[in-house]
Amino acid sequence: MPDFTPTPADRFTFGLWTVGNTGRDPFGEATRPVLRAPYLVEKLAALGAYGVNLHDNDLVPIDATAAQRDALVREFQQALSDHGLVVPMATTNLFSDPAFKDGAFTSADARVRAYALSKTMRAMDLGAELGAHTYVLWGGREGTEVDAGGKLLDALGWFRDSLNYLAAYSESQGYGYRFALEPKPNEPRADIFLPTVGSALGFIATLERPELFGVNPEFAHETMAGLSFPHAVAQAIDAGKLFHIDLNDQKMGRFDQDLRFGAENPKGAFFLVQLLEDSGYAGPKHFDAHALRTEDEAGVWAFARGCMRTYLILKDKVQRFAQDAEIQAALAAYRVQDAELEALTGTFTPANAGALKAHAFDRAALGTRGPGLEALDQLTMELLLGVR
């Protein structure tokens, strides 16, 4: 039996807001006490995690004085040093404070937009101080419930201007951040700008420094909208824009549940792990999830350990998939090759186009061929269920 015990080499990370989640939700108060950041670092290190990520206010309260801020940062840095964890990614909380109730970078109030920029630059300073190289931007309040305000095109322009400003600030400070936009279709706003990976990729192309921007897709967010997360991640990889990734799980069409990775959609999780491993993704694998509200502190650490173990179990299944002779034979049969036609379709030339138009295709045979996907899918299920 393989050993599914995580180590820092697996590059698993958690947010302070994930293992520090107190179980509070819109209908109920907290069910767990607040756990301090240095303690969370210690516990994650003991479980084999690689790093910890944070919003600015996960560590430093929004109303902290400069002296309080510096003391909290020093204490956190000491914990990281003592336990060997790193901070690969940082981000800004632009969604909790009432000032951002109608948006941060896309607020119709110029004062709010300016405050959002100021807050984000200070949070970028904090992230750089802690060693972060990736900066995630989740626009949780960047959206609308009422479109009568007529700000849609203006909001996209304000959003673009803000991202351009932050990229220039990063470069001027020598931080070298790579920025990752995190799409989400809805919640907490009714409609959030840049709701999917595809929309974020399209927006990035309009920025002044598009090479500095990529995406941070999240399993739950694409699933909420009924979309395939592996498909979204494949698009990001194909574009060279998978700068970071959030792993969790979700029931389709529900509120943002942030379930333990693999808890609800094991087949989707399997194909995601296969995609990440086969494509050579080398970035952190971040679990943006939290323990169920029913759990005490012991349940929090069972949740964290479970996220990492599930990924490693699925990674082992990916290797078995690649080594299974029957599965590989089914894959080979599915992918029909034709050297002559592939030569004609690979590169356009007038001669290739003419030959392709003149080629006699057996349309009836093409329509009657069965690709064997039922059998291949069943073989995959048997592998996941442990009978292969």
- Both tokens assigned to 137: 């931007």
Cα–Cα dist 343/180, whole Å: 38
Q: 29 labelled as ligand-binding? A: no
The CA-CA-CA angle for residues 235, 236, 238, to 5°, reads 65
70 a catalytic residue? no
Secondary structure (H, E, C), 65-122 = CHHHHHHHHHHHHHHHHHHCCECCEEECCCCCCHHHCCCCCCCCCHHHHHHHHHHHHH
10-36: b (≥16 Cβ within 10 Å) or e: bbbbbbbbbbbbebeeeeeeebbeebb
Residue 56 to residue 123: CA distance in whole angstroms: 5
CB contact at 8 A, 214 and 247: no
Helices vs. strands in the chain: H and E counts, helices first:
16, 10
Residue 218 assigned to a binding site: yes
The set of residues, in sequence order, having a beta carbon less than 8 Å from that of 219 and lying 6+ positions away, is: 229, 246, 247, 248, 249, 250, 261, 265, 268, 269, 272
Closest of 193, 233, 199, 238 to residue 217, by C-alpha: 233
246 assigned ligand-binding residue: yes
The DSSP annotation for 183-241 comes to --SSSSSSEESS-SHHHHHHHHTTSSSGGGEEE--BHHHHHHTT--HHHHHHHHHHTT-
Q: How many CB atoms lie within 10 A of CB 165?
A: 15
Q: How many CB atoms are closer than 10 A to CB 206?
A: 13
Is there a binding annotation on residue 256?
yes
Q: Is 55 a catalytic residue?
A: yes
Residue in 3, 10, 58, 133 annotated catalytic: 58
Q: Does residue 70 have a known ligand-binding role?
A: no
Catalytic-labelled residue, pool 3, 10, 55, 63: 55
The residues carrying an active-site annotation are 55, 58
Annotated binding site for Mg(2+): 182, 218, 221, 246, 256, 258, 288
Binding residues: 182, 218, 221, 246, 256, 258, 288
